C-alpha cells in the first residue's frame, strides 16, 4: 500500500473534507488524521499522482466559515464520564453503517419517537405512512442526485428471462450480477420528505399543511466513514414536513427549535442547536453550503457523545421553492414553500446512551419511569 500525506490549510474544513475522501477513488484504502496531517493509503495499483491531484483540488474547495458557529441554544453539563454506547449498551453492528438495538435501545427509540410525534400532533400535524423506494423520476425532480449524488442507493431486479433466473446463483457467486439486472427504476430514499412532494404533486391545497411520519432512509455515506460513531447507512427518522407560506414554515420550524431546546433541558442532554449546512461532496456544489449559511436555512441539534465529540441528531430546514416549483405544489392564495424537520432516531438513542449509559436507574426520572412501566 502507498501513502499520500496532505497538510490542510488553517481554514480547511477538516471534518467535511474527510467525509469526501473515500469518494475520490476506489483505490483509497484508509484515511487517518494525525498531528495536523491527513495520511491516505492507496492500493498498490492506484494512480498516486492523479489521486493526490484530485484530493488537493477537492481539499481547496472545503473552507470553514465563521457563520458555522452561530448558536441558537447550548446546554453544557459537566459529566464525570461518557459511555461507549457500542460496547456497553446492547448495540450491535452489522457493518457498513447498520446497527441493531436490544430491548432498552428499542424502548428509547420508540419513546423519543413518540415524544417528537406528540408535539407534531399538538401543532396540528396529520400522520402519514410512506414506502422507502422512490421512483427515479421523482428523485431527479428533487435535485438531490445533482447536488448530493454520493448518497444514492439504487434498487433493481433481475431481467425478465428464464435463462437469467436459472443463472442467478452463479452470477451472484461470481460477482457478475450487474450483467443480469434491469436499469434501476427506483432508489432507496435518502431523505424522508421526498414522498410527500410526490404525493402532493400537481395539487392545490386549501390551507397550510403539516405532516408527520416515521420513515426509513438510506444513504451511502462512503465506505471509509462508517467507523465514525453514529455514521449510518440505514436509519429511522421522525419527519415533520410543512407546506405553506414562508411565515408559516418559519413559525413551525422556530416552534420546534424552541421546543427541542426545552427537551434538552428537561432531559438533561448536553449539546447545542446551531447553524449548519449539508454535506456536498462534489467540489462545484460547495457554494450551496455558503448559501444555506447566509439564508440561515438549516440548523442542527448536536448532542454530546464524548468530552469533545458531538453527534448531529436533528435538522431544521427551510427549502424555499426547491420542491414546490418542480412538483407544482401550491396552497390556495399563498406563495407556497416547504420546510422539514427530521429527528434521527438511532442517533438520538446513541447520544442518550453515551451520556446516561444503559443502567435505567441513572436515566432521567421521566424516561426511567416510562421504561419501568413498559417492562412491568
Q: What is the pLDDT of residues 139-160, one digit of tens each?
A: 999 999 988 898 999 999 999 9
DSSP 223: T
- pLDDT (mean) for 14-24: 86
Q: How confident is the model at residue 15 (pLDDT cuts 50, 70, 90)?
A: confident
Sort strands 91-93 and 99-101 into parallel, antiparallel or unpaired.
antiparallel
The C-alpha angle 28, 87, 77, rounded to 5 degrees, equals: 100
Q: How remote is the C-alpha of 179 from its chain's centroid?
A: 32
Full strand arrangement of the beta sheet holding 309-320:
71-75, 271-275, 298-306, 309-320, 337-344, 234-244, 209-218, 126-127
Lowest mean pLDDT among 138-142, 237-241, 296-300, 338-342: 296-300
Over residues 53-69, mean pLDDT? 76
Total domain count, the chain:
2
Residue 118 lies in a domain: yes
Is residue 68's pLDDT more than 70?
no
What CATH number does the domain containing 324 carry? 3.30.930.10
**Residue range 268-297: average pLDDT?**
72
Q: Residues 265, 332: one domain?
A: yes
CB 231 within 8 A of CB 150: no
Q: How confident is the model at residue 295 (pLDDT cuts 50, 70, 90)?
A: low
Same domain, 337 and 290: yes
pLDDT above 90 covers what percent of the chain? Answer: 78
pLDDT tens by residue, 214-249: 999 999 988 888 888 889 999 999 999 999 999 999
Q: What are the distances in angstroms from CA 316 to CA 47, 247, 296? A: 41, 15, 10
Q: What is the pLDDT of residue 19?
A: 84
User: Which of the four pLDDT bands, split at 50, 70 and 90, describes residue 12?
Assistant: confident
Query: Is 180 part of a structural domain of the chain?
Result: no
Going by pLDDT thresholds of 50, 70 and 90, the confidence category of residue 17 is: confident
366 strand-pairing partners = none
**Whether residue 195 sits in one domain with residue 117:** yes
Q: Inform me whether the pLDDT recorded for 66 exceeds 70.
A: no
Residue 210 bridge partners (DSSP): 242
Residue 149 located in a structural domain:
no
Looking at the structure, tell me whether residues 218 and 279 fall in a common domain. Answer: yes
Q: Are residues 103 and 54 in the same domain?
A: no
Model confidence, pTM: 0.90
* Structure confidence at residue 164 (pLDDT): 93
State how far the Cα of 183 lies from the Cα of 159, in Å rounded to an integer: 9
| CATH code of the domain containing 21 | 3.30.70.100
Burial label for 168, CB within 10 Å (0-12, 13-18, 19+), is middle
Give the model's confidence band at 292: pLDDT under 50 very low, under 70 low, under 90 confident, else very high: low
Give the Cα separation of 196 and 190 in Å (integer): 13
pLDDT, mean of residues 326-345: 98
224: helix, strand or coil: coil
Q: Which residue has the higher pLDDT, 291 or 358?
A: 358
State which residues form the domain around 55.
2-59
Amino acid at each position: 500500500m502507498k501513502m499520500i500525506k496532505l497538510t490542510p490549510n488553517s481554514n480547511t474544513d477538516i471534518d467535511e473534507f474527510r467525509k469526501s475522501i473515500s469518494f475520490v477513488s476506489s483505490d483509497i484504502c484508509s484515511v487517518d488524521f494525525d498531528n495536523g496531517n491527513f495520511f491516505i493509503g492507496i492500493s498498490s495499483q492506484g494512480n498516486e499522482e492523479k489521486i493526490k491531484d484530485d484530493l488537493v483540488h477537492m481539499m481547496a474547495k472545503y473552507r470553514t466559515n465563521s457563520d458555522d458557529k452561530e448558536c441558537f441554544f447550548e446546554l453544557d453539563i459537566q459529566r464525570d464520564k461518557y459511555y461507549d454506547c457500542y460496547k456497553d449498551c446492547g448495540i450491535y453492528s452489522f457493518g457498513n453503517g447498520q446497527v441493531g438495538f436490544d430491548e432498552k435501545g428499542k424502548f428509547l427509540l420508540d419513546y423519543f419517537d413518540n415524544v417528537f410525534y406528540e408535539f407534531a400532533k399538538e401543532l396540528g400535524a396529520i400522520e402519514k405512512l410512506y414506502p422507502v423506494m422512490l421512483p427515479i423520476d421523482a428523485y431527479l425532480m428533487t435535485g438531490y442526485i445533482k447536488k448530493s449524488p454520493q448518497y444514492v442507493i439504487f434498487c433493481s431486479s433481475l431481467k425478465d428471462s428464464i435463462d437469467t433466473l436459472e443463472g442467478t446463483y452463479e452470477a451472484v457467486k461470481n460477482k457478475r450480477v450487474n450483467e443480469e439486472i434491469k436499469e434501476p427504476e427506483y432508489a432507496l430514499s435518502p431523505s424522508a420528505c421526498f414522498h410527500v412532494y410526490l404525493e402532493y404533486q400537481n395539487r392545490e391545497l386549501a390551507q397550510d399543511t403539516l405532516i408527520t411520519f416515521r420513515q426509513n432512509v438510506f444513504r451511502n455515506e462512503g465506505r471509509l466513514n462508517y467507523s465514525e460513531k453514529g455514521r449510518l447507512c440505514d436509519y429511522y427518522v421522525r419527519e415533520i414536513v410543512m407546506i405553506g407560506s414562508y411565515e408559516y414554515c418559519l413559525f413551525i420550524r422556530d416552534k420546534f427549535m424552541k421546543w427541542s431546546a426545552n427537551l434538552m433541558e428537561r432531559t438533561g442532554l448536553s449539546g447545542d442547536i446551531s447553524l449548519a449546512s449539508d454535506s456536498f461532496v462534489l467540489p462545484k456544489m460547495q457554494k450551496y453550503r455558503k448559501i444555506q449559511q447566509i439564508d440561515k436555512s438549516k440548523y442542527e441539534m448536536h448532542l454530546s457523545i464524548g468530552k469533545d465529540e458531538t453527534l448531529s441528531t436533528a435538522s431544521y430546514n427551510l427549502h424555499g421553492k426547491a420542491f414546490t416549483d418542480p412538483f407544482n405544489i401550491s396552497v390556495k392564495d399563498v406563495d407556497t414553500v416547504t420546510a422539514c424537520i427530521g429527528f434521527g432516531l438511532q442517533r438520538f438513542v446513541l447520544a442518550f446512551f453515551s451520556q446516561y449509559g444503559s443502567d435505567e436507574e441513572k436515566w432521567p426520572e421521566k424516561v426511567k419511569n416510562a421504561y419501568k412501566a413498559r417492562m412491568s
